[in-house]
Structure 1
Amino acid sequence: MKNTFLTYLYIKRDQRIDWKERLDSLSKNQQINSRLVVESIKPDELYHAIILVHYKEPLELLIGSIESYARSRTNKERLWLILGSEERAGNDIHRIFEAIQKRFGNEFGHIMQTIHPANIPGEIKCKSANGTWAAKEFKKVLDSRQIEYDKVIVHNFDADTMVYSNYFDYVAYKYLTSPLGQPTSFQPVHVYANNIWDVPALMRLIAQSSTLIFMHNMLRQSRFHHFSSRSDVFQTIVDINYWTVNAIPEDSRQYYDSYFHYHGKLVIEPIYIPLRMDAVYADGYWPTVQNQYFQLRRWAWGISDLPYVVDLAVKDQALNWWNKLVKILQLIESHFSWATSAIFIAILGWMPRLFSVDFSNTVLGYNFPIVTRTILGLALVGLISGIVISFLLLPPRPQHRGKWYYLNFVWQWILAPIASIFISSFAAIDAQTRLMIGKRLDYQVTEKAVTRDR
């Protein structure tokens, strides 16, 4: 839990900093390190482009997300919004764009809608096909205005993604103070808490556990990859030919495309000001559980990247074989652990006695209870630490929830074995089994119902 705790401290530290002021100080500083991006690009030359892809999400949800962008302290003239709509969603997309344009027309320097056509040859129905279409249409606008790609930070956001007011300035500062010529992506921590006060206990547990795992990996550069909503310099997106249009795990594909395109020189910069996301919540308890399972299964489909990564590794002659092998083994290990770790922990302690009645009479059998007690004691410390950090990340309690409701955020952890085995592990096994027998997995959009406290 050390990494998770340190990440939490970094979050609180960076949220207290006035990043707008720091950006302004970069403009005034005459003695800037010539090896940093800011030497060639000034803060007031940067653009922020938000690509907000959506399908059939409610207008209220989109408005809540866009309101958070409009509250940003960054220069509104250089804050652009691209609404990536799907033709398959029907005529309602035009009504949605008109409502957004009417409400936020004065809050952004430029608002545009792109409509991703249905049934393009070579594409599958997935988020990144829509995002890539939007990015290519946006590129035409940049070209017409002769805006350089390395002066644009593109934010690839899901429909439920909300930001803090200093997020864009923070990412801009990190970009401008990065080494010149260093390919860098910016990956913020995701806190699934927009609707956390209204979702069922099982979904609260999975949402908060996902955040804790993500926070842990933020300090492990070798394990820290692109995930879901993220920010990039537009030049890097153009360099890798945008996001994949024929695979479900688009975020991990972006990581491997970037890693091998830049021959291992890619850096994923941790962004400690979180993005606020929705926990899974649909209309009804069982549809919510089903949506959660489908979401985890979709994430676990990332193991399908394996042959793709091997192919990229073989073709990349500039990267040494050890780095390529490590990436391949890490991909295998992470998905194997995802599918099996919780099950192993649940059953391995019982197996020696089940298969050997004399096990207790051996030296190992005599010490076995001591070893397991010690391991479980350490695990309990980690669990308590996780509960405390999850409490600290909670948004303010809404008026329709009493103070006693906080207890629900404690007892929910009793459900950890159910969530980790029957939802998370089974979802991973489901995905891997489908892949093994050659059965396809269609992209299923996670339903996002609007709750009272969002």
Structure 2
Amino acid sequence: MPRRILEILPPAVAWVALTSPIWAAIVAPDIFGYFLVAFSAYWLWRSIEFTVGLVLGMGRLARAQRRNWAQAGAALHGFSRLHHLVIIPTYKESEELLAETLECLAQQTIGLERIAVVLAFEQRDESAPIRAAALTERFAWRFGEWLVTQHPDLPGEVKGKSSNLAWAARRVEEELMGSDRLDPKHLVVTVCDADSRLDRQYLAALGHSILSHPDGRLHIYQPAILFYANHGRLPLLIRAVSSVFSLYSLARLAATHRLVPQSTYSLTWWVARRVRFWDVDVVPEDSHMFFKVWLHLGRRVRARAIHLPVYADAAEGATTFGTVVSTYQQIRRWAWGVSDIPYLALQGLRARHIPWHIRVARVWWYVEEHLVWPSHWFLLTLGGLVPPLLNPGYARTALAISQTAAVSMLLGLCLPSLVLAILGDILLRWWSDDETNLWKLVSGLAGFLVLPLTGLTMVALPALDAHTRLLFGRSLAYQVTEKFSAADADARGSESYVRAAETPVA
């Protein structure tokens, strides 16, 4: 019962907040006016925080890419003993897409004999053995260890990344650890999506970060995920969405006290083994794994930033409509992280080894993120438009006029953040090798002109969809994930779907 209450509460609060421009304008217009001023001030603070994080992130990204991390790591005791286990869970992604990811991995600046690769296929993927054999022939000889796993559909599991990772980790433990081919004391695990192109210095920088901090082996590491790998193929309507999430991914690395890993991340094998690997009954495996480790091992566990890029594909379909649908579904899946709030809150109550104020802060930061996500567009856009239409009498009062002026001033102060974000997007796309054509760089900015529309359809509504499903006891379960390489896109149109089926919450 407490878990179900905690599942209902965040979506209910989000719905109350986003509908407040309608009901509060009639019931308590003066109180709503003050609330809107306060929320605008909060949004200004978040804009400043985003801008500072973006500027810091871009500077650190540039410095990190210039530094020779292999040379810096060689000066640290134990650097040469570190081995890296890279697990790539995949379901129906093409051979060429996986080959692009593996080729980036083969360009790492550390010795490839220190890299073990696990291609984690799903048994229900009938063509997986063919792709596995082809990729094994092309790449297995280049790495120190190579393992292909086939995850069966097991009772009680959610079909998806988390259960696949758990299966792959157990196969590694049985087949590579048992034969002493890998030393668990000096092993680091990196989880990659099928389209994650690691920077060539990522593993070297990761090893350096682990060894240069007293608690480095307890931390979980997050690179900057930049969705620019297929940016030039995206419809104009979606490009700004891809850019915004890329900019946010970089900016959030500055606030490590509230950072939660996403998509591609790294941790030591000892930590993963200590918490018995990934849970098999969750969808948002990245945030859930971080909270699981933090709750088990205590306050010394931190999410730490690796300021190197991982270039990934934004969701893409064979048609413009297909891309819109795919983007919506992907963002809805990200927003399904709201389902981790009950786990974090309830397990946090039991984690007495962590000071109470740290537990409260961690829960609050995560709840805040997921409450603002579905509601901010409605408050910022409709909050100033709807109340005067519903309550014109109050809109003409001196108090309402002063409140409106305060909101306009506060939101106007957010505009420099938007300008800096646009400039940052140009620079990041220029730094990526995907777009160096000046016309493409400039024309990509046109997507920001429709940001109010895409902010509703591709940011707020997918999150609201996820919240509403949780509110009514529905869940998201992986069904199909298809991704294609650039070569595939040229030949047949790229399609990247993350579909979800409605299933009752247990």
TM-score over 0.5 for the alignment?
Answer: yes
Structure 2, unaligned runs of 5 or more: 1-50, 491-506
1:281 is matched with 316
Spell out, residue by residue over 1:379-427, the C-alpha distance to the aligned partner (whole angstroms, 9 max, x if none): 2211110011111111579899964232321110012112221221111
Query: Is 2:145 the counterpart of 1:81?
Result: no
Report the Cα offset of residue 259 of structure 1: 1.0
Which residue is 2:285 aligned to? 250
Q: How does 1:116-131 map to 2 (within 5 A)?
A: 116-118=151-153, 120-131=154-165
Query: Which residue of the partner structure matches residue 7 of structure 1?
Result: 57
Equivalent residue, structure 2, for 1:331: 366
| 1:25 equivalenced with 2:25 (yes/no) | no
Paired residues of 1:182 and 1:267 also in contact (CA < 8 A): no
- Specify the alignment match of 2:12 in structure 1: none
Letter in 1 for 2:69: W
SS in 2 for 1:49: strand
Q: Which residue pairs with 2:87 in the alignment?
A: 51
Q: Which has the higher contact order (CA 8 A, sep 6+)?
A: 2
Secondary structure class of the residue paired with 1:88: coil
1:98 matches 2:133:
yes
- The change in CA–CA distance for 1:406 and 1:236 in structure 2 (over 3 A counts) is same
Match of 2:295 in 1: 260
1:106-145 superposed matches below 5 A:
106-118=141-153, 120-140=154-174, 141-145=176-180
Shifted more, 358-367 versus 134-143: the winner is: 358-367
What is the deviation of 1:230?
0.7
1: CA distance between counterparts of 2:383 and 2:201?
47
1:197, 1:397 within 8 Å by CA — same for their partners in 2?
no
**Aligned residue identity for 2:346:** D
TM-score by length of structure 2 reads 0.82
Q: CA deviation at 1:367?
A: 3.5
RMSD: 2.1
Q: 1:321-344 CA deviation, whole Å, 9 max, x = no partner?
A: 222222222232211111100111
SS of residue in 2 equivalent to 1:188: strand
Secondary structure of 2:254 counterpart:
coil
> Which residue pairs with 2:3 in the alignment?
none
Matched, 1:148 2:183: yes
Structure 2 residue corresponding to 1:292, chosen from 327, 332, 336:
327
Q: How many percent identity over aligned positions?
A: 27
SS at match of 1:388: helix
**Alignment-mate amino acid for residue 67 of structure 1:** E
Which deviates more, 302-311 or 71-80?
302-311
Q: Does structure 2 retain, via aligned residues, the 8 Å contact 1:194–1:276?
A: yes
SS of residue in 2 equivalent to 1:82: strand
Which of residues 195, 202, 225 is equivalent to 1:190? 225
Matched, 1:433 2:483: no
CA 1:205 to 1:446, structure 2 compared with 1: closer, same or farther past 3 Å?
Answer: farther
Q: Of the candidates 415, 431, 438, which is equivalent to residue 450 of structure 2? A: 415
Change (3 A) 1:86 1:16: same
Separation in structure 2 between the aligned mates of residue 360 and residue 17 of structure 1, nearest angstrom: 58
Aligned equivalents of 1:211, 1:218: Cα separation in 2 = 12
Q: Give the Cα separation in 1 of the matches to 2:401 and 2:267.
A: 55
C-alpha distance in 2 between matches for 1:130 and 1:25:
36
CA apart distance, 1:318 = 1.5
Amino acid at match of 2:399: L
Distance across 2 between alignment mates of 1:398 and 1:225: 28
Structure 2 equivalent of residue 158 of structure 1: 193
Which of 319, 344, 352 pairs up with 2:354? 319
Q: Distance in 2 between matches of 1:398 and 1:300?
A: 30
2:258, 2:362 within 8 Å by CA — same for their partners in 1? no
Find out whether 1:62 has 2:98 as its counterpart.
yes
CA distance in 1 between partners of 2:450 and 2:284 (Å):
28
Q: Distance in 1 between matches of 2:459 and 2:432?
A: 28
* 1:186-225 mapped onto 2 (5 Å cutoff): 186-225=221-260
Number of residue-to-residue matches in the alignment: 438
Letter of the aligned partner of 1:43 in structure 2?
Answer: F
Change (3 A) 1:443 1:105: closer
The alpha carbon displacement at 1:431 in A equals 1.0
Q: 1:48 to 1:322 in 2, by over 3 A?
A: same
- Structure 1 letter corresponding to 2:72: R
Deviation of residue 107 (structure 1)? 1.5
Corresponding residue to 2:486 among 448, 451, 454: 451
Q: 2:228–2:432: 8 Å Cα contact kept in structure 1?
A: no
Q: For 1:241, what is the secondary structure of its paired residue?
A: coil
Structure 1 unpaired stretches of 5+: 27-37
Q: Which amino acid aligns with 1:49?
A: L
Partner of 2:26: none
Per-residue displacement from partner, 1:276-314 (whole Å, max 9, x unpaired)? 111111211112111111111111111111221222112
SS of 1:178's equivalent?
coil
Q: Secondary structure at the match of 1:121?
A: coil
Change (3 A) 1:402 1:175: closer
Give the residue type in structure 2 aligned to 1:86: E
TM-score, scaled to structure 1: 0.91
